[in-house]
């Protein structure tokens, strides 16, 4: 598209809104498929019975490595949108999902080596990169006043890929048992092709989008980049980490209630589904109440939820345990939406201050805001996704050292406490350095 002016009310009413909505819905579908592929091993490990010879610690590693590669790929995927165009890169990134899905559909059977499984698990991390490029692309299409809702819908629709793949796994487990794990990735082969074709047919490139030279270096030197990355570890990192680990944790924590993978699979999808559906609400609440305020109280609630899970685990109360874990999924979803809303608000507030002080003219301030917002989204998205690795490693080490997840829950409580303190100190504490509108 040669002309794109989403902030112009007339252009938005006559042309922009229709085009932006079309790109949003196709982007949601493509990102949804990417998230499903990224999350394949959250359900695949439930198929790996004694005949595979893998202990619980080994299974937690299989769910950690996709999160690691997905985190690494988020930064280059963010840059690829401006370098190649959102439409072009969405087609390419969709087709790259075939790289893990095809060999998984061929090789998953008893007798396959653990090293092969680790490689296959790692390759599914390409689906994690799709989130970053999709968010960077949709961020270009909507005016500032609608970014919170649009990004929330895009992210929430993509995140539903986690419970969706777990429901596919449940259907396979319930119908043919654990003997055919290869059927789960096989289901996604036609969906991957359909995502690529839909992107080619209905998405648009915006030629004006470009990667600003030195933008990443400038963002990396900005303290807000690392503050927001820390907060995003607590929100998105928790969501993806719990989504990958929940089924295993249920089987280990309450082995008497979940003796078979089918028993665990009935509940595995529930938390990620709720967290995904609630994410747009986080963006909408941030639009109305302010991102920092929503994020602060959200982390308070997450700390309380982790405390309830710890208490329930020690008391062997499964109903309380389930309520606490579902609360963690809910508030991780809300926090995903509110933190993403904070990012452009931070730079808009700083740009407005620089204009008021005469250090920038309005046009250059607007360019700087877009430049820094895009860079921070890329960096925070990459760093935050490592939270999924940390969650799985925390569970692994906790079960290895004590046979329970208590140490992991204590670590989560400490992290969420750190996050709500940082949010208050940096963005909510009264004083001359407080950023208005964040």
Mean of the pLDDT values across residues 129-152? 84
Pick the closest to residue 120 from 101, 136, 134, 145 (CA basis): 101
Rounded Cα distance, 65 and 71, in Å: 10
Of 114, 127, 128, the residue nearest 61 (C-alpha): 114
Q: According to the model, what pLDDT value does residue 358 have?
A: 84
pLDDT > 80? residue 152:
no
Q: What is the pLDDT of residue 424?
A: 96
CA 23 remoteness from chain centre: 20
**pLDDT tens, 244-266?**
898 889 888 888 888 877 788 78
Residue 66 is predicted with a pLDDT of 94
430 Rama class: left (phi>0) / alpha (psi -120 to 50) / beta: beta
**CB hemisphere CA count around 219 (13 angstroms):** 27
What is the rounded distance in angstroms from the CA atom of residue 29 to the CA atom of residue 191?
9
Please count the other Cβ atoms lying within 10 Å of the Cβ belonging to residue 384: 26
Average pLDDT of the chain?
Answer: 90
Signed CA dihedral, 172, 92, 219, 336: sign only: negative
CA atoms within 13 A on the CB side of 139: 26
The Cα 48–Cα 346 span in angstroms is: 46
Q: How far is 20 from 147, CA to CA, in rounded Å?
A: 11
Encoding tokens for residue 256? 């008497």
**pTM to 2 decimals?**
0.86
361 burial (CB, 10 Å; 0-12 / 13-18 / 19+) is: exposed
Contact between 369 and 353 under an 8 Å Cβ cutoff? The reply is no
Q: What is the pLDDT of residues 350-364, one digit of tens each?
A: 998 888 888 888 888
| Better-scored residue on pLDDT, 17 or 148 | 17
Question: 309 with 331: CB under 8 angstroms?
Answer: no
Give the pLDDT confidence score for residue 287 in this predicted structure.
Answer: 83
What is the widest separation between alpha-carbon atoms in the chain?
70
Which has the closest alpha carbon to 132: 208, 60, 52, 38? 38
Asked if 61 and 115 touch (Cβ cutoff 8 Å), the reply is no
Q: In which region does residue 213 sit, left (phi positive, over 0), alpha (psi from -120 to 50) or beta (all else)? A: beta
Q: Which residue has the tokens 């969906």?
A: 191
Residue pLDDT, tens place only, 401-433: 988 899 999 999 999 999 999 999 999 999 888
Among 411, 247, 244, 406, CA closest to 313: 406
238: nearest Cα among 376, 361, 146, 331: 331
- 120 or 57: which carries more pLDDT confidence? 120
Tokens of residue 382, six digits: 């990459």
What is the model's pLDDT at position 208? 65
How many angstroms separate the CA atoms of 79 and 69, rounded? 16
**Residues 25, 31, 37, 39: is their CA dihedral positive or negative?**
negative
Kindly report, residue by residue over 195-239, the tens digit of the pLDDT.
999 999 999 998 766 776 688 889 899 999 999 999 999 999 999
How far is the C-alpha of 149 from the C-alpha of 138, rounded, in Å?
A: 11
Residue range 311-319: mean pLDDT, rounded: 93
Q: How far apart are CA 342 and CA 247, in angstroms?
A: 32
Structural tokens at position 389: 């690795």
Could you give the dihedral angle defined by the CA atoms of residues 146, 147, 148 and 153, in that order, rounded to the nearest 10 degrees?
Answer: 100
Helix residue spans in 85-140 (DSSP H): 86-96, 98-107, 114-123, 126-139
Number of neighbours of residue 132 by Cβ within 10 angstroms: 29
């Amino acid at each position: 598209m040669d002309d794109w002016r989403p902030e112009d009310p007339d252009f938005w009413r006559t042309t922009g809104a229709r085009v932006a909505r079309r790109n949003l819905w196709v982007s949601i579908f493509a990102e949804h498929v990417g998230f499903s592929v990224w999350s394949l091993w959250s359900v695949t490990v439930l198929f790996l019975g004694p005949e595979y010879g893998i202990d619980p610690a080994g299974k937690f590693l299989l769910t950690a490595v996709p999160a690691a590669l997905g985190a690494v790929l988020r930064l280059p995927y963010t840059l690829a949108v401006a370098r190649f165009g959102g439409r072009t890169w969405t087609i390419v990134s969709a087709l790259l999902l075939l790289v893990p899905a095809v060999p998984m559909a061929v090789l998953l059977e008893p007798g396959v080596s653990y090293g092969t499984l680790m490689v296959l698990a790692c390759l599914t991390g390409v689906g994690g990169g799709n989130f970053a490029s999709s968010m960077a692309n949709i961020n270009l299409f909507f005016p500032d006043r609608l970014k919170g809702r649009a990004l929330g819908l895009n992210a929430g629709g993509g995140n539903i890929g986690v419970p969706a793949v777990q429901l596919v796994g449940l259907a396979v487990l319930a119908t043919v048992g654990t003997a055919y794990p290869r059927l789960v990735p096989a289901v996604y082969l036609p969906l991957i092709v359909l995502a690529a074709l839909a992107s080619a047919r209905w998405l648009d490139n915006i030629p004006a989008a470009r990667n600003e030279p030195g933008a990443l270096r400038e963002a990396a030197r900005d303290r807000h980049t690392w503050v927001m990355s820390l907060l995003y570890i607590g929100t998105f990192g928790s969501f993806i980490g719990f989504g990958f680990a929940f089924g295993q944790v249920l089987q280990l924590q309450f082995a008497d209630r979940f003796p078979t993978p089918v028993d665990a699979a009935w509940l595995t999808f529930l938390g990620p589904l709720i967290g995904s559906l609630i994410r747009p609400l986080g963006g909408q609440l941030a639009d109305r109440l302010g991102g920092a305020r929503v994020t602060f109280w959200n982390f308070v609630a997450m700390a309380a939820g982790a405390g309830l899970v710890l208490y329930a685990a020690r008391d062997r109360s499964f109903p309380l345990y389930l309520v606490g874990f579902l609360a963690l999924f809910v508030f991780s979803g809300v926090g995903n939406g509110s933190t993403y809303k904070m990012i452009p608000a931070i730079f808009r507030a700083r740009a407005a201050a620089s204009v008021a002080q005469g250090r920038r003219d309005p046009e250059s301030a607007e360019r700087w805001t877009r430049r820094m917002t895009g860079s921070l989204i890329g960096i925070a998205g990459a760093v935050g996704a490592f939270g999924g690795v940390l969650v799985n490693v925390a569970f692994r080490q906790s079960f290895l050292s004590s046979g329970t997840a208590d140490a992991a829950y204590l670590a989560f409580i400490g992290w969420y406490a750190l996050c709500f303190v940082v949010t208050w100190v940096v963005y909510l504490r009264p004083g001359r350095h407080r950023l208005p509108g964040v």
